[in-house]
Amino acid sequence: MLTFLVRRLASAAVVLLASTFVFFMLVDFATDPLEELRESSQINREAQMEQRTRLLNLDTPPVLRYFLWLKGLAGFLWGQGTLGESWRTNREVTDMLAGAVGVTLRLVVVATLLAIITGVTVGIASALRQYTGFDYSITFASFLLYSLPTFWVAVLLKQWGAIGFNDFLRDPTIGLWGLIGISLVAGLVWSALVGGEVRRRLITFAVATAATAAVLWFVSSTGWFLDPSLGPVLIAVTGLAIAFGVTVLSTGLRNRRALYSAVTVVAIGVALWLPLQYVFPYATTWLILGLLTVTLAVAAVVGWAFGGPDRAQSIRTAALTAVGVALLIFADRVMQVWRIYSDYSDNRPIATIGAATPGLNGDFWVETLDQYTHLILPTTSLLLISFASYTRYSRGSLLEVLNQDYIRTARAKGLTERTVVMRHAFRNALIPLATIIPLDIAAILSGAVITERIFGWTGMGNMFITALNGDDPYPVMGFFIVTGTVAVLANLVADLVYAGLDPRIRVNA
Amino acid sequence: MTQTPITTPPPPEDATERLENAIELKEVEGLSQGQIVFRRFVRHKGAMTAAAVLLLVILLATTSIGIGPIDGWWQFDHIRTHPTAIPGGRPTLQVGLDGITIGAHPFGQDDIGRDLFARVMFGTQRSLLVMVLIGVLATTIGITFGALSGFFRGRVDTFLMRLTDMVITIPIIVVGAVLGKAFGGGNAVLLGLALGLVTWTTMSRLVRGDFLSLREREFVDAARVAGASNGRIMFKHMLPNAIGVIIVNTTLLMASAIILETSLSYLGFGVSAPDISLGQLINDYQSAFATRPWLFWWPGLFIIIIALCVNFIGDGLRDAFDPRQRKIPSKRKMRQG
């Protein structure tokens, strides 16, 4: 295993080195730092050209310049590396990257996580309802999403998502027809999703439509959008729903110990809601992370205390539920500053430009909400495209697994459908996905180039485009060394994860 | 060969399945592999609709404004400006209860009075051209590299696959932007060729995989015993057996190629003014979204239609070439059988 790893790492390094060389030559060919001077009519044109030539070593051949750049890169091994300097801004590329990487990372991580969660869920649901109207609609929708150009969607989102929603907030009431329309659509989706006999479909349709209509009516008549909050009652109700949902999926309702531990966790969470409100004003990122750790510890203790022959099951159920309830409490607290934040932003809270409001001097919660309102649009536009591929892959992979002999064996043993799907099929269906995630991250990274430009984020993609447009070679190389490394590592990780998860794959050392 | 196919299917589990197999066999009786694939493809409703729509788009784009020096039936071109037909240059295309009226400028006019229909048609031609160029070049390179490394293995394989790894390392939009800036500069043909040089990686990996397994088959040994040269074995004997993977992947490649081209043109590194492509039109007009949204709608709509159609055709082809794919016979046929 170790030899395999070392060999793969070495070959990855060689590949990366070769591609930096090719890319350096390409960038050198594509950019011409002297272009604007050649066309200029200033008197000291010659002197300026000479100065810039000296600055960028333009009179040495590009191959030698590559090795000079490489020497700077190698310098990181003993701590005094450099990636060159941008001649436009006179800043070190390393400094430019330091600011930009964080911004892009936030975008990419959030989009990837959401795409995986939603894509896999929808894909699994679509596979379990194979050849139904729901399945066909999802298939069509994912084809449509594949075919959408990111930049087009992003402009649309800006126009409708942000400006439309902000306009809606001026008078946040949903008209009668809108209410009826949305409720009917929700009812249709749910009845298609749950499926079954006609009678069951009709009941699902009626219940879902009525529930949606009730929620919309409540939201509309109380002006919830202007001052949203969950409050302990709603947290309790939603928390219980989460507890039952998680238990159904993870162990089944028959496992009473798991159910009771999940419900206990919800009770603890609701009881802690009020005391937490006095802690939250002092919140920092570390405090929130600490609270999350405590939550998980409490869940583990509760699950362990309920005991039974298989403690791990109860602990797992309790932990998942606890995370859900913690997220609810967190969301509730973020919602409490919505009104304050709205006032900051002239009652137009959904932002279309930038990664954060400049000069916003709010507390932790306002800053957090500010980040979310800025993240929502670019994330959505990145999400849509990888969502489609995750849906397709997880659907295909689950269908493949469901045809295997061990699934037939599991059914023949008399296991419940839930156990067959969640325990035997779902877990194995996730294995091929493990190889797609790293590759998708690399794809999202390059998708971010477009999204960042449209939404005016000053991340790596923006740095790349600005530098390439401005004939500034070193920031382009800086961008490339980061994304190239990520792509190479992603490939490597994909191979390793696959080998680790699937015992049929052997790494031959 | 009535009931005894060459490869015996796994024993049917029950009467229904046996009946299904019998119907399936009867349908493909006496047909070549190509005919079976073609029949399956024609039966795929989504793919056929997509093919028809795509054909329609191509016809519309080529005949309306003509190709190159040949004039089409549309009265305006993409350069000249005209007085506005409706105030604000709104589209004259109207679909109402009293039928469809096309009017002088069905897609509307831009801020200096150019006819958007002619511009979108011209952009569609350009984008399709780049798409086909990328598809042809990438497929050729991919097949050649994949075939060489799958057939010869050893050092050739190692070298070509490391080369593939190297190209994969570079995010496509990034290398596309750099290549576009270097070679594009408004020239759609050069842009297409340059992008074709970096999009062949998936194809070469797939072809290599196919060739690795094909070279162990008996017919390859037979060809070699008969004295066929390496080139003949590769391109006459093995390539036709890998054609399914190649065709399917080419269509999928073309679908992503059109998205890539339009994205690059949108970023300003692809086709640039005065030349026109669908992405470049959106780039040009995005600031006009609030005042003249149709300038933004139509080019986007055509990108989506083309990409969606090509994707659906690819899906239909994949189903048609997939030997595991079976058509479930209709109830009527089951009763008859």
ipTM: 0.81
Residue A330 lies in a domain: no
Residue A203 lies in a domain: yes
In chain A, the number of structural domains is 2
Residue A62 lies in a domain: yes
Q: How many residues does chain B have?
A: 337
CB B246 within 8 A of CB B158: no
Burial category of B218 from C-beta neighbours within 10 Å (exposed 0-12, middle 13-18, buried 19 and up) = exposed
Helix (H) / strand (E) element for A55: namely helix A45-56
Residue A317 lies in a domain: no
* Boundary residue ending a domain (A152, A187, A222): A222
Cis peptide preceding A503, ω within 30 of 0: no
| Whole-prediction pTM | 0.83
* Boundary residue ending a domain (A207, A222, A237): A222
Domain that holds residue A186: 173-222
Per-residue pLDDT of chain A (509 residues; tens, 9 = 90+): 788 888 888 888 888 888 899 889 888 888 888 877 777 777 777 788 888 787 777 788 888 888 888 888 888 877 777 778 888 888 888 888 888 888 888 888 899 899 999 999 999 999 998 888 888 889 889 889 888 888 888 888 888 888 888 888 887 778 888 889 999 999 998 888 887 788 988 999 999 999 999 988 888 888 888 888 888 888 999 999 999 999 988 888 888 889 999 999 999 999 999 999 998 888 888 999 999 999 999 999 999 998 777 888 889 999 999 999 999 999 999 988 888 888 877 778 887 787 777 777 778 888 888 888 888 888 988 888 789 889 988 998 999 899 889 999 999 999 988 889 988 999 889 888 887 887 788 778 878 888 888 888 888 888 998 888 888 888 889 888 888 888 888 888 877 887 777 777 665 54
Token pair for A302: 């509760």
pLDDT in tens, A351-402: 778 777 777 777 888 888 888 888 888 898 888 878 988 998 899 899 989 9
Cβ separation A143–B311 shorter than 8 A: yes
B242-261 residues touching A, CB cutoff 8 A: 255, 259
CB A376 within 8 A of CB A111: no
How far is Cα A74 from Cα A68, in angstroms, rounded to an integer? Answer: 10
Cβ separation B269–A468 shorter than 8 A: yes
B17 touches chain A (CB under 8 A): no
Minimal-distance CA residue of chain A relative to B308: A147
B50-89 residues touching A, CB cutoff 8 A: none
Residue A277 lies in a domain: no
Residue A435 lies in a domain: no
Residue type (1 letter), A48: Q
How far is Cα A386 from Cα B187, in angstroms, rounded to an integer? Answer: 31
How far is Cα A389 from Cα A436, in angstroms, rounded to an integer? Answer: 9
Among candidates B166, B255, B308 on the partner chain, residue whose Cβ is nearest the Cβ of A19: B166
- List chain A residues with CB under 8 Å of B296: 152, 155
- List chain A residues with CB under 8 Å of B315: 143
Residue A191 lies in a domain: yes
DSSP state of B109: B
Cβ separation A487–B312 shorter than 8 A: no
CB A356 within 8 A of CB A370: yes
Kind of pairing, strands B99-101 and B94-96?
antiparallel
How far is Cα B170 from Cα A19, in angstroms, rounded to an integer? Answer: 7
Residue A347 lies in a domain: no
* Boundary residue ending a domain (A222, A248, A279): A222
> Which residues are CB-contacts of A62 (< 8 A; sequence separation ≥ 6)?
A24, A25, A28
Average pLDDT by consecutive 10-residue portion of chain B (337 residues)? 48 67 76 85 88 93 81 76 74 72 76 83 90 94 93 90 84 82 75 88 90 90 93 91 88 89 86 82 81 84 92 87 65 67
A148 touches chain B (CB under 8 A): yes
